[in-house]
A = this chain, B = another copy of it.
Amino acid sequence: MQKEEPYVIALIQMICQSSREENLQRARQRIVEAAEQGARLICLPELFCSIYFCQQEDPRFFELAETIPGYTTDYFSRLSKTVESVLMIPLFERSTSGDYYNSLVVINPDGSIAGRYRKMHIPNDPQFQEKYYFTPGDLGFQAIQTAVGKIGSMICWDQWYPEAARLCALDGAGVLIYPTAIGWLPGEKEGEGAMYLDSWKTIQRGHSIANGIYTASVNRVGIEPNQARDAEIEFWGHSFIVDPRGHIIAEASGEDEEIIYGKIEPQLTSETRQTWPFFRDRRIDAYDKLVE
């Protein structure tokens, strides 16, 4: 792994609304603030340009999809030059061939696109009807080289798959980043809500430990009604950053818009992997059934 310098990552936990223009402007304000605070890698939540439309299946929402490059990436390419930071911009992508993806674009401080990711693991559960909208990603799991270092960018449901985290780490990522839209359905919060939230944090802390790597997870927050029936999702916030030993170094609240910051220190990754040299002893000769 190339010698890399420490830098500050910022996660923008935000409420997302129907108006793209409003979401973009509010994201821009927060990105400017995070950059002023010293952040050089700034991340937004999954599909932040709109409400989480996957609560219901409605063909009208396909109109929200955009090309890459396109309106939103142009908007943030300009901003990245102003704030001199790497920006991670999730969006609903319409490919040139007309396929739809739950995607993410990484933009360098010079405004160029450093790389993109298309969500690989697609959920389809009550009020998370993503298989209706999204073709499963076709770009695989890889570390994207950016101006601050190599990052492993995945999205939401990928959080639950140790395979995805491992692949990004093996490809040289120094941090795993998951833009997310996760929350409680009606009745869940009072019941097993705390357990769900804890499981979500625990499995991602596990990725940090297994791979000696930072993990950053950025969620939206607030209640969004289901447009089709009497239901809603309460997005549970709690965006967080984990160090390579699995320790949470920053965490947002469950209710409010917030920016959280963490220092990414490549030296700590190196030290952790010396203490816990898990990569050394992997049994690639015995993992065949993982791909069957």
Listed in ascending order, the chain A residues whose CB lies under 8 Å from chain B are: 120-123, 125, 136, 140-141, 157, 160-167, 170-171, 192, 195, 198-199, 202-203, 205-207, 209-210, 245-247, 276-278, 281-292
Contacts and interface: CB of A to CB of B under 8 A. Distances in A.
Interface of A is mostly: helix
Contacts of A203: 206, 209-210, 246
Given A161-B210, A161-B282, A199-B246, 15 more contacts: A121-B281, A121-B282, A121-B283, A125-B277, A136-B283, A140-B286, A160-B209, A161-B278, A166-B290, A167-B290, A170-B290, A202-B205, A202-B206, A202-B209, A203-B206
Given A161-B278, A206-B206, A287-B167, A246 B122 contact: no
Q: Which 4 A-B pairs have the closest CB atoms?
A: A206-B206, A162-B162, A203-B209, A199-B246
A150 to B, nearest CB: 15
A162 B281 contact: no
Count the copies: 2
A277 B157 CA distance: 11
Contacts of A292: 284
A128 to B, nearest CB: 11
Contact of A162 (B122, B198, B210, B245): B210
Nearest to A276: B160
21 contacts: A120-B286, A121-B281, A121-B283, A122-B281, A123-B281, A157-B281, A160-B210, A161-B283, A162-B163, A162-B206, A162-B210, A163-B283, A166-B290, A167-B290, A170-B289, A199-B245, A199-B246, A205-B206, A206-B210, A284-B291, A291-B291
A203 B245 CA distance: 10
Contacts of A282: 121, 161, 163
A198 B165 CA distance: 20
Given A122-B281, A276-B160, A278-B161, A167 B199 contact: no
A246 B198 contact: yes
Contacts of A167: 286-287, 289-290
Contacts of A199: 209, 245-246
B287 A290 contact: yes
Contacts of A195: 245-247
